[in-house]
Amino acid sequence: MPKSANKVTFEPKPLKVGEGWQIVVTYPGGMQEHIPSFLGEQDAGEWLSGKGRQAWLKARGYAA
């Protein structure tokens, strides 16, 4: 049975060092994972609203 994706949050943020953006993923319970390598806020937003987010969740056993 897939885990619920509703409890996973995604927040795009600029990198603290260097240029570019990342997405900070927070799992239920507070553990975080960082998805780096986005060119900018728009690039990260497109990943979130597109198939990237769905594929990422599915690969980790979450229902998208």
The pLDDT of residue 62: 84
Contact residues for 50 (Cβ-Cβ < 8 A; gap 6+): none
- Count of C-beta atoms within a 10 Å radius of residue 19: 8
pLDDT tens digits, 19-50? 999 999 999 889 999 999 999 999 999 999 99
Mean pLDDT over all residues of the chain?
90
pTM value is: 0.84
Predicted pLDDT at 18: 85
Please, how many CA atoms are within 13 Å of residue 55, restricted to the half-sphere of its CB? 4
- CA 20/CA 28 separation, integer angstroms: 26
Calpha distance 30→38 (Å, rounded) = 23
